[in-house]
Structure 1
Amino acid sequence: MLNRFRVLPLLLLESSISEVGYIVSNHLSRMSPSNLVSLEMTNLLQNLISSTALLIQHKYGGSLLIFLTIQPILLMVCKLSVGQEVPISDMDMPFTCNWYTANKSMDNCAFCNADGDFLFVPQKGRLWLTTECGRLQICPGEVAVVPQGFRFTVSLPDGPSRGYVAEIFGAHFHLPDLGPIGANGLAAARDFLAPIAWFEEATRPNYLIIQKYGGELFTAKQDFSPFNVVAWHGNYVPYKYDLNKFCPYNTVLVDHGDPSINTVLTAPTEKPGVALLDFVIFPPRWLVAEHTFRPPYYHRNCMSEFMGLIYGNYEAKADGFLPGGASLHSCMTPHGPDTKTYEATIARQENAGPYKITETMAFMFESYLIPRVCHWALESPFLDRDYYQCWIGLQSHFRKQDCSKDFSAEAVE
């Protein structure tokens, strides 16, 4: 018999943090517009319990399994014009962007997402993912996709771990069309790794299966391991990818390319040119463009950009954007390099010469849909409410007298 989880207010005492394992998700949906948000999560493990969240708990095997879910789908509500509130299921949301953090391996239990695909992006600590097709180990700098419907469990070989998770519904990730690039470039199919068949044959009394279905969580118990698949074939399978094998493309003469040129995986839509969710990275690469403002220029975008940093520094933010943090720039919200980066770039002018960005790995979840930020994020003590100040002091360096041609009287054809 399936047992519904109980959902309770967060009443967990900080003193009990060492006794439980937890996973945190900062859910973003598409239901309404949001403004500029930047979150820094560098001390999440130590300070998580004091934040606003909801608790989903279940007793098993003498231990307490804790999921601290930033905005559980089954509890999200939409305000109607008549003042009513109705629950919103995962089926109403094409994607979510999340943080996770965990301090305990999953023991005698497995999880299954019947709603969509998970894309794991670890930022600190390795993850061992045991699936029905075999096992995958991912490190910071690698990613893994667990498709809809697979049962899996997560172990923490390095102790506490944290990172990012994207979840998509109604579509699957695949490689972007290369178009004029041709046969080679970006993420090569040969570099994606699937697990080798692995199984265990053991009696597992009270083994707990936790299944996410229609935005709600259900449990069932069995007396055997779900990882008893001796062999498999086909191409619907969990997989991993090392981001350091990505072959980036960049401008070699002038101008700045759109970030979509660095797409690793995409979940497309029926609308040409935009995606339900793109996974884009900013890896080490050479910058050589001439007569060009090389950092990402100031812009508004039809895509909403959720950006994270796995390690190193991000080229457009000299200070304040730390590994493990994230920023959200929603559709048509203006943004660009901070003042320090802007002034340093202007000062170099044409004397920069070719140089290589090294020891960095930033990424972006990008969608044409408009996300909604959950209450936990907006009320979190980790919210950087002074984020806008990174642009304070920006000054125009344009001088008309320096122009070699007078454009003021030119007609626009």
Structure 2
Amino acid sequence: MTGPSADNNYHVDRTTPLDADTFNGIFGSVGTRLTATEAVRADFDTLIAAGTAQAIAAVQDAISPYAEEAQTKAAQISAYLTAYLSDANPIRDAVLTAVLGGVAARGDTLAKLLALIDGFNLSSIDGLTEALAALAPLDSPQIIGVGTVLTAAPGTNSAQIANCAFVAAALAALVNSAPTTLDTLNELANALGSDPNFATTTATALGNRLRIDADQGLGSGAKAIGRTNLGLGGMSIKDSVAGADLPGGSWYRLATLTASNSAELFDTASLLSGCIEYEIVISNLLPSASGVDLYCQIQSGGAFQGANYSFASHTADTGGNTSYGATGAGGISISRPGNYTANAAPGCNGSIRITDPAQSSGPKALRWDTTQPTTVSDLCHVTGGGWWTGVGAVTGIRFFPSVGNFVSGVIHINGRR
């Protein structure tokens, strides 16, 4: 960079440093011109001494341009310094005050001013050391007080400084309106049981649960534990269940008898000694002849019993007819005597209960409730109860019409443990 001189019309800008080189350039140029002026003045003195009016006029002509130019340049330098000093800069002001403040006393000549600049010590400037110490270093600065920086855009991932607002926004986005009981890492850890392997632990626990959507291929040990936890004892999944595998009080199907032009329907193998009660459910049982009775007999001691029955029944039909009956011979009549309509849907429907069938020292109680189409009216309802007074456990059951066969229908035999 070229300093201010006569060649550049003593032009300076704000970046021109006030150092020895600058002052040497300015005052050196001025000194050269002053030296030239002094030479002219010497010539002028000579001319005066010679008393030559022409010499005086020549000197004046020679000096005038230089003097005017020097005055102009001096005014330009003064204006530059005034403008430079008008900008606020504490450090620069301290330096200039120390440098320029003693010019009148110690720098009234160019030589003194250059010596002053060469020997200048920054530490001698009042307040400069303190001002510099108050500034943060470029390497690992430590800011005292409340420092502020611009807030970075959300999601910024760079070396830019993050202020409190940026951090607060990032934390709010992380929490994302989570409940107050789960909005800290500690609360989340406690909710997960402080288990660093929570996913594995959960997957293992779920694998030990019984599935309902897919086969698990469980081993015999796992199946046994599962049945125990379900209260099923030793029972496994199967089409039919043994009564001994069911908990007490459970009802289960013992047998189903299906009629197909059958003279009788009976079962002597399914009634178990472990049952405290039997229920025989009759569904759509159709006789082949009209005016018949439907009888029920129990088996005990290896034979169906045709005697020792004592019962009473009540019948009512849709025609408003009612009747009562009682008999003790042949078995129990569970229909309206002599009024069963042949092959008339829906046939006989209802149920029979046998209470305490396993005891062998006393009578066995029976009660029934059936409906049937009749030859007298559209529908007849029969209810009744009675006893088989023989001795021995009930081991079988038999149904038969007084005449003909059962065309169709089913009888379900259920037991309760």
| Larger fraction in strand | 1
| Larger fraction in helix | 2
| TM-score of the two chains, using structure 1 as the length reference | 0.19
| Structure with larger Rg | 2
| TM-score of the two chains, using structure 2 as the length reference | 0.19
